[in-house]
Amino acid sequence: MDIIFHGQSGVQIVVGDKSLIIDPFLSGNPLATVKPEDVRADYVLLTHAHGDHILDAEPISKANKAPVVSIVELATYMSWKGVDTIGMNLGGTVDLGFAKAKLVPAFHSSGIVDEKNQNILYAGMPAGFIIRAEGKTIFHAGDTCLYGDMKMLGELESFDLALLPIGDHFTMDPDDALIAAEWLRARQVVPIHYNTFPPIRQDADAFARRLEEKGIRGRVLAPGERMTL
Q: How confident is the model at residue 160 (pLDDT cuts 50, 70, 90)?
A: very high
SS3 204: helix
SS3 168: coil
Tell me what pLDDT residue 121 has. Answer: 95
Tell me what pLDDT residue 213 has. Answer: 97
Contact (Cβ atoms closer than 8 angstroms) between residue 194 and residue 165: yes
Domain count along the chain: 1
pLDDT in tens, 60-72: 999 999 999 999 9
Going by C-alpha positions, the residue among 166, 162, 178 that lies closest to residue 214 is 178
Tell me what pLDDT residue 229 has. Answer: 96
Pairing relationship of beta strands 111-114 and 119-122 according to DSSP bridges: antiparallel
DSSP string covering 96-142: -SS-EEEEEE--S--EEEETTTTEEEE----EEEEEEETTEEEEE--
Give dist(CA 24, CA 2) in Å, integer: 17
Q: How confident is the model at residue 217 (pLDDT cuts 50, 70, 90)?
A: very high
Tell me what pLDDT residue 53 has. Answer: 98
pLDDT in tens, 99-157: 999 999 999 999 999 999 999 999 999 999 999 999 999 999 999 999 999 999 999 99
Task: Give the structural domain span for 171.
Answer: 2-228
pLDDT in tens, 176-198: 999 999 999 999 999 999 999 99
For residue 173, report the phi and psi dihedrals to the nearest 5 degrees: -95, 175
Contact (Cβ atoms closer than 8 angstroms) between residue 67 and residue 37: no
What CATH number does the domain containing 76 carry? 3.60.15.10
Pure H helices in the chain: 51-54, 57-64, 72-79, 149-156, 174-184, 204-213
Give dist(CA 115, CA 99) in Å, integer: 37
pLDDT in tens, 24-51: 999 999 999 999 999 999 999 999 999 9
Tell me what pLDDT residue 32 has. Answer: 97
Give dist(CA 6, CA 10) in Å, integer: 5
Angle, vertex CA 172, rays to CA 90 and CA 223, nearest 5: 90
Tell me what pLDDT residue 9 has. Answer: 98
Tell me what pLDDT residue 148 has. Answer: 98
Tell me what pLDDT residue 204 has. Answer: 98
